[in-house]
Amino acid sequence: MADAPSLDAVRRILEKEKPDLMIRYSANGVAIGKASEQSDEYAIVVYVSSKPSNAPTSIDGIPIRFVTAGPFKAL
């Protein structure tokens, strides 16, 4: 089993992929989070209004997770 990606690796991939993720999935936002509730592995989390049917499970070896959420509002 391969080692989990480091936080720095996830940050680099997110920085590179963020514009595409935002447009491709009409995302409300993207962030770094956990791959699952039971995992300590870092993942890219994409916040969407509805989950895409053909969503990838990883990008460049980094797990990606889609979370259904409404638009964010600054307070």
Residue 1: per-residue pLDDT = 47
**DSSP H helix total and E strand total for the chain:** 1, 4
pLDDT score of 72 more than 80? no
Residue 37: per-residue pLDDT = 84
Query: Cα-flanking dihedrals φ and ψ of residue 12, to 5°?
Result: -65, -45
- Local confidence band at 2 (pLDDT 50, 70, 90 cut-offs): low
pLDDT in tens, 3-56: 778 999 999 999 999 999 999 999 999 999 998 888 889 999 999 999 898 889
Whole-angstrom Cα Rg for the chain: 12
- Higher model confidence: residue 71 or residue 51? 51
Where are the chain's structural domains? Answer: 19-68
